[in-house]
Amino acid sequence: MRYEIRGGEFPVVICSLNDGEAMITERGSMVWQTPNISMETRGGGLGKMFSRAFSGDSMFQNIYTARGSGTIAFGTSFPGRILPMEIGPGREIVLQKRSFLASTPGVNLEITFNKKLGVGLFGGEGFIMQRLSGTGLAFVEIDGDVYEIELAPGEQLIADTGNVAGFEASVQMDIRQVPGLKNKFFGGEGLFNTLLTGPGKVWLQTMPISGVAAALSPYFPTGNG
């Protein structure tokens, strides 16, 4: 499989498939395809279906298989970037909910639970995140632009919760209170930030959809009148 990522604020990844090669995606991600690519919708069993629903994704996935050489494109649902990620042994990725776009069949999409109560309640994405494991290539949606940081063992980074797009499974995630009462209530940064501890890579996004929704909410009418 060969691919190229094209476009600006609403990018697409264009995948060129050889005969028999396949791509897996969530419903609604396909933008265009050649006629010789067939689609099959699968749930993968009740356990996996409900796991995907809890992680913010569809209960079903679509498998697109090329019958001869073909092309298929997948697009983002929000202005941002598409990030290719190689998944393999020792290279598992933890993502915010709804980040998975598409992958080759060897990649497993699972849910992962934040083990610490504080992270689950205040960590921005709740108890449930997405985990990519297995072997293959995955494409991930990033809100806005992306900034990659490599943390050394024990090195820490404090980030606004909504700006953490994902991190390697070797990175530890926790929360940290914003210090000082005035900072908490008048600083505009909320009560908690996310604390990430290396080793491993961290991907930060510049325009989380939750932040955009909060910024726009005062301009939407409320009530019936």
Max mean pLDDT range (40-44, 162-166, 200-204): 200-204
At residue 77 the predicted structure's pLDDT band, cuts being 50, 70 and 90, is confident
Q: Are 78 and 141 in contact (CB under 8 A)?
A: yes
Higher pLDDT, 195 or 97: 195
| Structure confidence by residue, pLDDT tens digits, 5-63 | 998 888 999 999 999 999 999 767 899 999 999 999 886 543 454 455 554 455 578 99
Closest CA to 56 of 134, 9, 106, 109: 109
User: Is pLDDT at 119 greater than 90 in this prediction?
Assistant: no
Q: Give the H/E segment covering residue 151.
A: strand 146-151
Is the pTM higher than 0.85?
no
CATH number assigned to the domain comprising residue 157: 3.60.160.10
Tell me, yes or no, whether 32 lies in a domain: yes
Q: Are 107 and 89 in contact (CB under 8 A)?
A: no
Q: How many domains is the chain built from?
A: 1
User: What pLDDT does residue 26 have?
Assistant: 75
User: Is pLDDT at 69 greater than 80 in this prediction?
Assistant: yes
Q: What is the dihedral of CA 187, 188, 189, 191, to 10 degrees?
A: 80
User: Is pLDDT at 180 greater than 90 in this prediction?
Assistant: no
Closest CA to 103 of 13, 206, 207: 13
Tell me, yes or no, whether 222 lies in a domain: no
Containing structural domain, residue 150 = 2-215
Q: Give the H/E segment covering residue 122.
A: helix 117-122
User: What pLDDT does residue 129 have?
Assistant: 81
Tell me, yes or no, whether 122 lies in a domain: yes
Tell me, yes or no, whether 65 lies in a domain: yes
- Torsion over CA: 169, 171, 172, 177 (sign): negative
